Amino acid sequence: MSAPEVAVGAVAVHDGAILLVRRGRGPAAGEWSVPGGRVEAGEPVHAAVVREMLEETALECVVDRFLGWVERIGDTFHFVILDFAVTVLDRSQTPEAGDDAAEVAWVPLHALSDLRVVDGLLDFLRETGVLPRPSRERP
């Protein structure tokens, strides 16, 4: 395994939908996730968020705030991912899959559980308030 790498994620929510990409390659190939990827050497983190969003979705964004971080550790990788809330600048523009994204779509928040999303994404979105926490039923 190589040394941990820093990566970023862009969490864009608009009109009750979240922007997701289906990974075309890598450890999460075939799974849906927020746009993002590795931070390049010498690249500021916010610049990496904007670049990755543009490369994977063809959409320009601005970074709003830091949401939190997650780790992804596998047999051959270790990523520390810094996730940021972003605003898409032209919400009328249709996203287009690029770079290592096989597909890109605005997914209604209520439909997220129907998709094959990367491990931990739903929990992260609940913990950061992007998704509501499930209500606890009384016995």
Q: What is the pLDDT of residues 70-95, one digit of tens each?
A: 998 888 889 999 999 999 999 899 99
Task: Summarize the confidence of residues 100-120 as an average pLDDT.
Answer: 92
* DSSP string for 90-118: -TTSPP---TTEEEEEEEEGGGGGGS-BP
Q: Which CATH number fits domain 5-127: 3.90.79.10, 3.40.50.300, 3.30.470.20, 3.40.50.11540?
A: 3.90.79.10
* pTM assigned to the model: 0.90
- Residue among 28, 56, 16 at smallest CA distance from 117: 28
CB atoms within 10 A of CB 27: 14
Q: What would the two tokens of residue 80 be? A: 């520390």
pLDDT at 138 (0 to 100): 55
Cite the active site residues: 103
Q: What ranges do the domains of the chain cover?
A: 5-127
| 9: helix, strand or coil | strand
